[in-house]
């Protein structure tokens, strides 16, 4: 479907960091995963690493993924889940740089 000619889309700059770069653990998994993907430019340093406040401490999120239950992942990664979901968000945390 074509967009009307007078429609202007918002241009986001690297200075427009969503939620000040912090993952909110109260968000639904779908929103949390979308936030992490929006902050992830892989090897290009466009955005800073996303951060999370977990158990009173602030951490960088070094790696993340959305997976089914995985005992192996739970050995190294912090697991975030929500009721009635067959997926979990796993995050590897590191000291803030």
Collapse the DSSP code of 74 into the 3-class scheme (helix H, G, I; strand E, B; otherwise coil) and give the result: helix
CA separation for the pair 17, 50 (Å, rounded): 9
Distance, in Å, from the CA atom of 19 to the CA atom of 57, rounded to the nearest integer, reads 17
- Residue 15 is predicted with a pLDDT of 67
- DSSP reduced 3-state for 63: strand
User: CB neighbours of 18 closer than 8 A, spacing ≥ 6?
Assistant: 35, 38, 39
> Comparing 24 with 68, which gets the higher pLDDT?
24
pLDDT digits (tens, 9 = 90+) for 40-96: 887 777 788 899 999 999 999 999 988 887 777 777 888 888 888 888 889 988 888
Q: Listing from the earlier edge strand, what are the strands of the sheet with 88-95?
A: 22-23, 51-54, 57-67, 88-95, 78-80
What is the pTM (predicted TM-score) of this model?
Answer: 0.74
- Strand locations in the chain, DSSP E? 22-23, 51-54, 57-67, 78-80, 88-95
Domain spans of the chain, in order of start: 18-95
């Amino acid at each position: 479907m074509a967009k009307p000619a007078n429609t202007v889309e918002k241009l986001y700059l690297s200075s427009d960091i969503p939620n000040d770069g912090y993952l909110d653990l109260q968000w639904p998994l779908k929103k949390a995963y979308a936030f992490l993907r929006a902050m992830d430019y892989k090897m290009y340093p466009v955005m800073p690493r996303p951060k999370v406040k977990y158990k009173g401490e602030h951490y960088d999120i070094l790696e993340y993924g959305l997976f089914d239950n995985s005992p192996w992942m739970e050995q190294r990664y912090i697991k975030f889940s929500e009721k009635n979901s067959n997926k979990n968000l796993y995050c590897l945390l590191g000291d803030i740089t």
